[in-house]
Amino acid sequence: MGRIGGAGAHLVSRSDYEGTLAKGGTTITKGMDESSQKGHDIVDIGPLCPSDVDQARAVLARGMRDNPNHVAAFGDDPTARLAGLRAFLESYRSIPEREAFVARDATGRIVGVMAMMRPGECQLSSPHEARSLSGFYAKDPGAASRLKRWLDVWRKHDPQERHWHCGPFAVEAQVQRRGIGSGLLRVFCAQLDAGQENAYLETDVRQSVGFFERFGFEVMAEDRVLGATNWFLLRRPRAVRHRREEGTPT
C-alpha cells in the first residue's frame, strides 16, 4: 500500500489497491461482539476501487444521515435527509478527488469509508466551491445556502500547518460500534506516523471526540455550525507527541 509523506505524497493507487487485495488487505477481527459475527466477522481494509465510488457514497450517506450538521442542513425527515446528503456527496468533491480507505466485510461489501485530502488540497477557492456545489444549488437552494454557511465555518478553522484532511468518514449505519471505524483509523494513523504527517478532522458528534482522542487527535477548537456544536481536531505524528511529552525540543 502507498505511504503518506514526502514529495508527491499519496496514499493509495489503483496498483496498490490490486496489490492490497492480492495480499488480503488489513484484516480486523477484534472489536466485534457476538452479534457482529453474521457476515461482519472479517473486515478487510484497503483502498477504494474507482468502480466502487457510488457504493462508498451510499455507505457514507447512510452512516452520516443522523449527524447533527445533516439534520440542520437537510431537515428532520430522514428519507429527505438521506436523499439530500446523497445529492451533496455527488455534487461536492466528496470522493473522486480524495483518497479513500474502505472496509469490506467477508462478502466484499463496503461497510466503512474514510476519505481524505492530501496536504494543501482541502481549501477550495470560492469559484471552485461554487462550481462544485452548482448541481446541488439547482436541486435545493435552501439547503445549499445552509451548506455554504457550514463550509464557511469549517474553512475558518482549517489549520495553516501542513495536514492530511480526514473526512468524510463513516461506517454503515447498521454496523457501527463494532470496531470497523477503529480499524480504518488505525490504518490511517499508522500511515500518518510512518510519513510523519499531521491529520485534521471535524466532527459534530460529542461522543466521537473521545474516540478520536484515543487515536492521538487533540481538540483545537469548538464552534457552532447551523446551531450544532462542532469540534476541530488535529493529530500530530506519534513521534512528535512523544517528544513533546518528554519535553524534548522538536
Q: Given the rule CB under 6 A, which residues bind ligand COA?
A: 31-33, 63-64, 67, 167, 169-171, 176-182, 201, 203, 205, 207-208, 210-211
Taking the C-alpha atoms of residue 250 and residue 248, their distance in angstroms, rounded to an integer, is 6
Nearer to ligand COA, 64 or 133 (CB): 64
Minimum separation from the CB atom of position 119 to ligand COA (A) = 18
Minimum separation from the CB atom of position 182 to ligand COA (A) = 3
Nearer to ligand COA, 210 or 247 (CB): 210
Residue 36 is given by DSSP the state G
Minimum separation from the CB atom of position 121 to ligand COA (A) = 18
Minimum separation from the CB atom of position 203 to ligand COA (A) = 4
Coil, helix or strand at residue 45: strand
User: Amino acid identity, residue 247?
Assistant: G
**Do you know the residue count of the chain?**
250
Nearer to ligand COA, 78 or 142 (CB): 78
Please name which of 174, 165, 207, 189 lies closest in space to residue 45, comparing C-alpha atoms: 189
Minimum separation from the CB atom of position 169 to ligand COA (A) = 4
Minimum separation from the CB atom of position 150 to ligand COA (A) = 13
Pure H helices in the chain: 14-22, 37-40, 53-64, 68-74, 78-91, 126-139, 141-157, 180-195, 206-213, 238-246
Q: Per the structure block, which three cell numbers stand in for 173?
A: 449505519
Taking the C-alpha atoms of residue 5 and residue 8, their distance in angstroms, rounded to an integer, is 8
Nearer to ligand COA, 81 or 178 (CB): 178
Nearer to ligand COA, 49 or 184 (CB): 184
Q: Can you tell me which residue has the cell 502507498?
A: 2
Nearer to ligand COA, 19 or 159 (CB): 159
Report the residue number whose CB is nearest to ligand COA.
181
